[in-house]
Structure 1
Amino acid sequence: MNSIRTGKVDWTGDNPFIYLKTDSEGDWSSLSLYFRIAASDYGRGEAILVLENPYQKEDSSAVRKCLTDNLELAQYLVENFVRRFGLFRPAVALDNLEYIADASFKTEADYPKQQACIAHSESTGTTLSMIWKDLAEPFAVALPPEETQTGEHEMFAIFQPAGCAVVEVNGTPLPGTTVERDFLNRIAQSAALANSESWVRAE
């Protein structure tokens, strides 16, 4: 394998996730992502996306928000990557996603017992928190284009599955829990840190 990649790096950073179910045999009740981008054509920035009841288009009670400090970057990530991620492809709720662009971010950690990424919008009084608990040993992946979600990129990352995880909106946890699932040739809960994640266009 060639150690030097000449393809364009579309973005690099962190992209941990938390996927919850209220019924282990049913659809996902919420899909949440955190982005901390170190480099891209749209600069640096952070975003937390929370998509409750993702497969139902209309739901006035559902949280469908993206808090960010770089609106153009957040919209680029959603339209060009999130919509192509497997669980998000049928997520019609993305069409009703509300972007809030004045967010500030902080990370709190008692590693490896717990790590929390928190976004707050002063103008709307909205706080979104993603909390991973009981982090397992990290492992590295290097996926060729035919195994990535876009089919156009190589993807490199360090994943660290969580034993359990919580998503909070203004301090109130969303319904549901993580569930055990197949994840990159191993069994893990549906929440993990994803650090040093890089998407490189295949040539």
Structure 2
Amino acid sequence: MKSVRTGKVDWTGDNPFIYMKTDPEGDWTSLSVYFRIAASDYGRGEAIIVLENPYELEDNSAVRVCLTDNLELARYLVKDFLSNFALFRKAVSLENMEYIDDATFKTEADSPKQHIESAYSASKDMTVNLIWNGLNEPFAVALPPAETQTGKHEMFCVFQAATSAQVEVNGKAIEGQPIERDFLDRRAMSAALASSESWVQMS
């Protein structure tokens, strides 16, 4: 195993997620992710994305927003990465997601009890909170390209699954809850912190 990777690092940072269902046997009813990027070709930046009813193109009642402080970076992450992630490949709602680029961000951490990532937009008077509760022990992965979502990057990350999670928009929790699923080499809830995540091109 090579100690030094010579491929280009497309981005490195954190990318925790909360995927929820209202019916454990049904389809995903909301997909939410947070990006805190430490380095990329588009600089540093943060973004919170919330997609309700992600697999239906038209739904005027659904929240479909990306709050960010770096619009170019956010669009790049959605186009080149998020749209390739398994649960987002058929998420047609990405096509009409609203980008809001004046967001400010806050982190509240009381590990392992709770972790909260928040974004606020003054122009929309909107606050989004992603909340992870009861964090389990962290574990590290190093995935070869054949096992990553893009198929052309190595991916390195430390995951910490939650026992429960919720997403709040302006103080109101959106419907659904995480479910237990197969995740890498174990069973885990579909909500986890993902820290020190790095995507490295094949060299």
Q: TM-score, normalised by structure 2?
A: 1.00
Distance in 1, Cα, partners of 2:177 & 2:103: 26
Q: 1:52-84: CA deviations, max 9, x gaps? A: 000000000000000000000000000000000
- Please give the secondary structure, in 2, of the residue aligned with 1:57: coil
Distance in 2, Cα, partners of 1:20 & 1:166: 8
How many Å apart are 1:49 and its aligned residue? Answer: 0.2
Aligned length: 203
Distance in 1, Cα, partners of 2:81 & 2:106: 24
Q: How does 1:9-28 map to 2 (within 5 A)?
A: 9-28=9-28
For residue 140 of structure 2, what is the aligned residue in structure 1? 140
How many Å apart are 1:180 and its aligned residue? Answer: 0.4
- Please give the secondary structure, in 2, of the residue aligned with 1:161: strand
- Please give the secondary structure, in 2, of the residue aligned with 1:22: coil
Distance in 2, Cα, partners of 1:128 & 1:29: 17
Distance in 1, Cα, partners of 2:171 & 2:198: 31
Over the residues paired in the alignment, what is the CA RMSD in angstroms?
Answer: 0.4
Matched, 1:173 2:199: no
Matched, 1:98 2:120: no
For residue 87 of structure 2, what is the aligned residue in structure 1? 87
For residue 32 of structure 1, what is the aligned residue in structure 2? 32
Distance in 2, Cα, partners of 1:5 & 1:161: 27
For residue 60 of structure 1, what is the aligned residue in structure 2? 60
Distance in 1, Cα, partners of 2:15 & 2:70: 15
For residue 194 of structure 1, what is the aligned residue in structure 2? 194
Q: TM-score, normalised by structure 1?
A: 1.00
- Please give the secondary structure, in 1, of the residue aligned with 2:79: helix
- Please give the secondary structure, in 1, of the residue aligned with 2:200: strand
Distance in 2, Cα, partners of 1:82 & 1:101: 18
- Please give the secondary structure, in 1, of the residue aligned with 2:77: helix
- Please give the secondary structure, in 1, of the residue aligned with 2:105: strand
Distance in 1, Cα, partners of 2:109 & 2:144: 32
For residue 126 of structure 2, what is the aligned residue in structure 1? 126
Distance in 1, Cα, partners of 2:124 & 2:176: 25
For residue 49 of structure 2, what is the aligned residue in structure 1? 49
Question: Which sections of structure 1, spanning at least 5 residues, go unmatched?
Answer: none
The AA in structure 2 aligned to 1:158 is: V
Distance in 2, Cα, partners of 1:48 & 1:150: 21
How many Å apart are 1:130 and its aligned residue? Answer: 0.2
Distance in 1, Cα, partners of 2:176 & 2:77: 26
> Percent of aligned pairs with the same residue?
69
Distance in 2, Cα, partners of 1:191 & 1:124: 27
Q: 1:65-117: CA deviations, max 9, x gaps? A: 00000000000000000000000000000001100000000001111100000
Distance in 2, Cα, partners of 1:114 & 1:69: 24
